Amino acid sequence: MLSVSVDTAVVERSLAELERRGQDLRQPLRIIRKEMRGDQRDHARSKEGPSGKWPARARETVRAARGKGRAKRFMGRLPSAVDYIAEQRRVVARSKVPWSGSHMEGDTVGKGVKLPARPFLWISDKLVEVAERVLTRFLVNGWGKR
């Protein structure tokens, strides 16, 4: 009769460490938060949302900006007025501008003007890849540490 004995203690400890590390992801999420900030600013610079380029500004808006002696920055302070918070299990991006939702989703604004959607807070494929790589590295590095 053949008998085989396998000690799984190392594997069990490693799995427990993976579970422990998965409960508090703040360390890797701080890295992702920084990448997210850059990703969102890239959206504003390239003037594009997940569905493609933003609609151009209305002629009246462009003319009003020129009349003040300088061209207004497209989207004003929206892209830079975002808080990025790394929590225990997620990263949250929150605009501090009360009317940012009107730009994100489109809306009817002052004097009945229809504002087209210009989404600036969205997650690109590039950011998803970065997040996957950072989280995987964090979890794999915990294997066998206990």
Q: Mean pLDDT of all residues in the chain?
A: 84
Position 65 scores a pLDDT of 55
Band of the pLDDT at 45, cuts 50, 70, 90? Answer: confident
pTM of the model: 0.74
Please give the structure tokens belonging to residue 77: 């302070």
Q: Could you tell me the two tokens for 31?
A: 């890295």
Rounded to whole angstroms, how far apart are CA atoms 87 and 92?
Answer: 8
Burial class (CB in 10 A: 0-12, 13-18, 19+), 107: middle
Query: By the 8 A CB rule, do 128 and 32 touch?
Result: no
